[in-house]
Structure 1
Amino acid sequence: MKRSLSRRKFKEAAQGYLFLLPTLFVLLFFIIGPIFYAIYLAFHKVQLLGVASSEFAGLRNFTRITVDNRAHIAIWNTLKYVVVVVPIQTILAMVLAAVLNAGLKGQKIFRVIYFLPTLTSSAVLTLIFMWMFNQNGLINELLSAVGLPIYNWLGDPRVALHSIMGMNIWSTAPFFMVIYLAALQDIPNSLYEAAELDGANAFQKFWSVTMPSLRPVTSFVVIMGLIGTFQLFDQSYIFSAGSGGPNNSTLTVVLLVYQYAFKNLGTMGYAAALAMTLAVIILIATLIQRRFSKEESLN
């Protein structure tokens, strides 16, 4: 009896692992394996293109970051991008969701219209915005039509990154808006009715009822925004044709990793060290946000 039970358990376990094999294969060879290989590369001087070579470098790849001026610029640009984009897209998504949840006429149509930028390819959106911000593009045409001076939006280092910020806020806020909208519909009406009995107006109900109820969702949205904005690459690459220009104003950490990994021979290890540094920064920022949101919920 015991033998038959053990055989049956073994058979069931074997069947379970058999069904898990495709997922385990993907995790091992496309996620876990590359992570460990990147850690290996970060501590070696590696040349994968041309004549392949590998030499143990210890912490030299990481110490090089402290003296690399382009790495400092990339980190600063990325941090500036994160600090500006994450709060604005979070607040905009929350406001849009609150407006669409207020029972306005035609709100279903507005939901579809607001969500359209999220459905569009990131590369296509970037090309559209490049055409709009071009010296002969739509924005300068509108400025010229009303008698205002035109501006070199893409060629000025002071505003090039801000153009990418505006595009990403416009394209990512609708995605988070949908998350907020789902959360708003789960808030019990009894809370708003109690607030009305206490004499609360629309703003007071939003501040005292809606905002506290959305704290877990806001924490999720901020964490997702942090991870996404720290990994900015494709828009910066297309805007600057891969150079990070003008004058390194759109250079981000991921774009710099790409340049060192695939454009310069013998710097693959340094690119991996930069990628690991970025991963640590994202982890620290995420942990700080989680700790902050936990303290808020306790208060």
Structure 2
Amino acid sequence: MRNRKKLLREAGQGYLFMSPTLFVLLLFIIGPILYAIFLSFHKVQLLGTVSFDFVGIDNFTRIADDSRAQIALWNTFKYVAIVVPTQTFLALVLAASLNAGLKGQKFFRIVYFLPTLTSSAVLTLIFMWMYNQNGLINKMLDIVGLPTYNWMGDPSVALNAIMIMNIWSTAPFFMVIYLAALQGIPDSLYEAADLDGANAIQKFFYITVPNLRPVTSFVVIMGIIGTFQLFDQSYIFSAGSGGPNNSTLTVVLLIYQYAFKNLGTMGYAAALAFALAVVILTATVLQRKFSKEESLY
């Protein structure tokens, strides 16, 4: 009995010390998630007379008939499918090259990491200036005799412009993660490969890449979560419209439009947000499952 009271007292003290953190989690994370789920099953009117009309799964079935939602989903999937593999491979190559003992590698590590330190909004504005029809990129393309583009006004190019910008700015962040992981690969593996006559490319694909699988899995998962939530660059590029011709419209930008620009569609926006969370969760679980299966071989 005395031991039980002691355990209860210690547990109470532990929860007391954790109470500020638990309160913050409940107020700013768990509470909003539960409230968003609640809103997704209602038709919500927050301005004027506040009302919550239960509509069941109507908000979710509406997604299948919403052409803009389908466009946003396709744009987001295309963005994820191109950006995640490209930035992962580029980060790995940059990390391997900077870990090879080249002259001045500390200087290049700092230079490569600088884009990550720049604010996303500021970076977008800089690239908008560069993407201008008379901007830096078109002038450089013109100098070398390549065709120039209307980067922000052509629907077939606009999303690609955002992809290029994000690959350039996010690959250095993952490069640092790979650099840290490369320090943990034993030098004896590379020395044994040298004795067997392996060249640099063979050592990269048969030693470096396999030993970095857990890190690659983490990088891919973080990339998937980040790219599915693309919002600020698309918003700034298109002034919040998702244009030109919905070519830069993403799911999160569409959620913003329905939640804050269209009256009476807050519930539908919550349903879109919930559906996006399910898609991200599914993609993450599948990626983890495949990465574990690969590690068995």
Specify the TM-score bucket, using the shorter chain as the normaliser: over 0.9
- 1:292 aligns to what SS in structure 2? helix
Aligned residue runs from structure 1 range 98-117, under 5 A: 98-117=96-115
Q: Deviations over 1:234-280 (max 9, x none)?
A: 00000000000000000000000000000001000100110111111
Which of 258, 261, 264 is equivalent to 1:260?
258
Choose the corresponding residue for 2:281, options 280, 283, 288: 283
The answer to whether 1:60 aligns with 2:58 is yes
1:88 to 66, 86, 89: 86
164-173 or 188-197: bigger deviation: 188-197
| Separation of aligned partners in 1, 2:145 and 2:193 | 50
CA distance in 2, matches of 1:162, 1:109: 30
Instruction: Give the corresponding residue for 2:137.
Output: 139
Gaps of 5+ in 1: none
Deviation of the 1:13 alpha carbon: 2.4
Q: Matches of 1:294 and 1:151 in 2, distance apart?
A: 43
Q: CA deviation at 1:295?
A: 0.9
Secondary structure in 1 matching 2:236: helix
Identity of aligned residues (%): 77
Deviation, structure 1 residue 197? 1.8
Q: Count the aligned residue pairs.
A: 297
Partner residue in 1 for 2:174: 176
- Normalising by structure 1, report the TM-score: 0.96
Which runs of no fewer than 5 residues in structure 2 stay unpaired? none
Deviation at residue 287 of structure 1 after TM alignment: 1.1
Write the letter of the residue equivalent to 2:7.
K
Deviation at 1:52, TM superposition (A): 1.1
Q: CA deviation at 1:26?
A: 1.1
Equivalent position of 2:248 in the other structure: 250
Contact 2:138/2:148 (8 A) holds in 1: yes
* Residue in 2 that maps onto 1:50: 48
Question: 1:174 & 1:148 partners in 2: Cα distance?
Answer: 27
Aligned counterpart, 1:157? 155
State the shift of 1:10 in Å: 3.5
Q: TM-score, normalised by structure 2?
A: 0.97
Cα shift at 1:44? 0.5
Q: How far apart, in 2, do the equivalents of 1:38 and 1:10 lie?
A: 35
Counterpart CA distance in 1 for 2:6 and 2:134 is 73
The one-letter amino acid paired with 1:20 is: M
RMSD between superposed Cα atoms in Å: 1.4
